[in-house]
Amino acid sequence: MTQTETRQHPVEELDEVVIRFAGDSGDGMQLTGDRFTSASAVMGNDLSTLPEFPAEIRAPAGTIAGVSVFQVRISDFDISTPGDAPDVLVAMNPAALKSQLPRVVQGGIIIINTDAFNDRNLEKAGYESNPLEDGTLEGYRVYPVPMTDLTRRSTEHLGVKPRDAERSKNFFALGVVSWMFTRPVEPTIDWIHQKFAGKELVIAANEAAFKAGYNYGETAEIFEAHYEIKSAHMPPGEYTNVNGNTALSWGIVATGGLAKLPVFLGSYPITPASDILHELSRRKNFGIRTFQAEDEIAACGAALGAAYGGNLAYTTTSGPGLALKTETIGLAVSLEVPLVIVDVQRGGPSTGLPTKPEAADLLMAMYGRNSESPIPIVAAKSPSDCFFAAIEAARIALKYRTPVMLLSDGFLANSSEPWLLPDVDSLPDISVEKATQPNGMDEDGNPVFLPYLRDPETLARPWAVPGTPGLEHRVGGLEKEDPTGNVSYDPANHAHMIELRAAKVAGIAKDIPEVEVHGNPDADLLVLGWGSTWGAIDAAAHRAADRGMDVAYAHLTHLNPFPSNLGEVLSRYDRILVPEMNCGQLSRLVRAEYLVDAQSLSKMNGVPFTSGEILAAIAEQLGA
């Protein structure tokens, strides 16, 4: 692809690689990572990504707080996590190097933009001496590249001003890494043309920088080899690369069609859930109404109002917002209307670590309401699973006329993976009948409507929406008489209603899949997971098996009620290990429910589990 004379480098084959692009917030690392991912997807690799943003909108340039990171793992086999430690680090400045170096595997590759290693930047990063010179990087394969300068020179001929040229240096870096891992260049060049359409100079500069980087890899004598990762044996079909928030949003879009209902979203912006609001706000042509409320209470209240009005209603938030919605969710429990509450969990307590993932709202989801106020809980296990989890949550909400909690987290929200697109026609019909007719008789034999007369199978009450003639009735948060719905202070009725509400939710266990055991079902140890730990557990279990360790594992997507066979499954294992991004919340639930000595493997530092950590815990449990 170039005219210059090139030396042929040896090509080594790898089965996987984890690359971390790190630079200043303004350096375009997210875009670079995204592009590399797309090019890899086209090559048929399996892949998984994880972006990490600074907490500040624009942290001061050059500081550690301002470092923006994108990790991508590509492989020729089926993977489920973005990888533990990176094999390759691209460090665009000293702060990036300083903050990311501790994660890189020993002997890993480090590609450095040496132009950024001036005194000012070193100081800002807190380096007292230059790490390029003081031995800090011993034990790594370091490739120092004066990227800023090379970028500038490669674009000079286009008439790009030096300051503007600098902005293209991420494309230079992308070029180097693309060469190193033998990625095709066309998709990226096409993309540049599309993305910057109309800005000819920008296109030219970025393309020139990208090619210069690619050629630098080919030409410069510093690289010993370049690498190839064969395409993975992925099931055939059409794939897209999707992150959890997008998949969840699309799942919500899908439910409108599957339920044949208009979708309503009441929301208030909060990290890391806001992107669901953003994505759905763009989908007005799907008939989706989004309402940015004055706060979370109003967001949930408006969703409840829309649900009562016959829409398929959602409210999306993160922990602090969920705390505010609890009273309204309690009302939804009492009214028994369908409503899906999405909690994209983040680090706490209080404001905590808003941009870091955690999965510590499970017990709040379960118990965070006054009195006995049971609701079903569904949790997504991977970015693309967010799509199906949204459908499942809506299915339960509609069928059982109940608020449903749908748990995601900041890790799922932002990390992405290839997704074999489902056939949209194969998605389940989740539509339900609304009430249209009186369902009872009064003493005089006149037809009457009994709003709390339940379906004997599901215990769901009729969904009688305003606008339906003949079904006028009143509901409210006071205790209701069964089945008239009239206010009742009668002790026996209250006890009965408490039982009915509990039985309705418990009964959903009959309507959800049994929990499946993976790995070696006859092992002594069961690893029980939920939520975003799926990838790390799955990978760890495979690695354990490779090392001859017997381990079974199971993953819960329904946290309330539990699958009906869970107690029986747990009773089969001597040891149960529960990895969680909290201090042992699921383990408490299963201990209380089944009296099994489930041990918590807790991680609460704002960073998702690596498979290595889980592997180590498995090994410890097995005394291996």
Ligand X SMILES: Cc1ncc(C[n+]2csc(CCOP(=O)(O)OP(=O)(O)O)c2C)c(N)n1
Chain residues in the site for ligand X (CB under 6 A): 268-270, 296, 320-321, 324, 351
Q: How many residues bind ligand SF4 (CB under 6 A)?
A: 2
- Decide: is 233 part of the binding site for ligand SF4 (CB under 6 A): no
Q: Are 438 and 431 in contact (CB under 8 A)?
A: no
Q: In terms of CB distance, is 133 or 425 closer to another protein? A: 425
- Going by C-alpha positions, the residue among 320, 336, 324, 316 that lies closest to residue 386 is 316
- What are 591's two structure tokens? 């201990």
Residue from 122, 209, 302, 389 binding another protein (CB under 8 A): 302
3-state SS, residue 210: helix
- Decide: is 424 part of the binding site for ligand SF4 (CB under 6 A): no
Select from 192-200, 249-257, 349-357, 460-468 the region that touches a second copy (CB under 8 A): 349-357
- Decide: is 58 part of the binding site for ligand SF4 (CB under 6 A): yes
Q: Are 137 and 131 in contact (CB under 8 A)?
A: yes
Which of ligand X, a second copy, ligand SF4, none sits in contact with 30, Cβ below 5 to 8 A by type? Answer: none
Which of another protein, ligand X, a second copy, none sits in contact with 11, Cβ below 5 to 8 A by type? Answer: none
3-state SS, residue 511: helix
Find the shortest distance in angstroms from Cβ 270 to ligand SF4.
16
Residues numbered 435-494 forming contacts with a second copy, rule: CB under 8 A:
476-479, 489, 491-492, 494
Please report, to the nearest 10 degrees, the dihedral formed by the alpha carbons of residues 511, 438, 489, 492 taken in order: -50
Residue from 323, 453, 465, 545 binding a second copy (CB under 8 A): 323
Find the shortest distance in angstroms from Cβ 593 to a second copy.
8
- What are 295's two structure tokens? 């706060």
- Decide: is 492 part of the binding site for ligand SF4 (CB under 6 A): no
Which of another protein, ligand SF4, a second copy, none sits in contact with 408, Cβ below 5 to 8 A by type? Answer: none
- Going by C-alpha positions, the residue among 176, 179, 142 that lies closest to residue 11 is 179
**Look-up of token digits 């201090």:** 583
- What are 180's two structure tokens? 């190193």
Residue from 9, 226, 283, 572 binding another protein (CB under 8 A): 283
- Decide: is 189 part of the binding site for another protein (CB under 8 A): no
- What letter represents residue 273's amino acid? A
Buried b (16+ CB within 10 A) or exposed e, 38-52: bbbbebbbbbbbbbb
- Decide: is 303 part of the binding site for another protein (CB under 8 A): yes
3-state SS, residue 141: strand
Find the shortest distance in angstroms from Cβ 58 to ligand SF4.
5
Q: Are 530 and 608 in contact (CB under 8 A)?
A: no
3-state SS, residue 508: helix
Q: In terms of CB distance, is 111 or 273 closer to ligand X? A: 273
User: What are the φ/ψ torsions at residue 406 (nearest 5 degrees)?
Assistant: -115, 115
Select from 4-12, 21-29, 76-84, 324-332 the region that touches a second copy (CB under 8 A): 324-332
Q: In terms of CB distance, is 117 or 268 closer to another protein? A: 268
Q: In terms of CB distance, is 269 or 567 closer to ligand X? A: 269
- Going by C-alpha positions, the residue among 379, 341, 352 that lies closest to residue 589 is 379
Find the shortest distance in angstroms from Cβ 99 to a second copy.
10
3-state SS, residue 23: strand
Residue from 166, 207, 361, 538 binding a second copy (CB under 8 A): 361
Question: Distance between CA atoms of 561 and 579, rounded to whole angstroms?
Answer: 20
The number of CA neighbours under 13 Å toward the Cβ of 23 is 26
- Decide: is 68 part of the binding site for a second copy (CB under 8 A): no
- Going by C-alpha positions, the residue among 297, 304, 307, 296 that lies closest to residue 274 is 296
What single DSSP character describes residue 563? P
Residues near a second copy, by CB under 8 A: 55, 65, 318-320, 322-324, 326-327, 330-331, 333-335, 345, 347-356, 358, 360-361, 363-364, 366-373, 476-479, 489, 491-492, 494-495, 498, 501-502, 582-583, 588-589, 591-592, 595, 597, 603-607
Can you give the binding site for ligand SF4, defined by CB under 6 A? Answer: 57-58
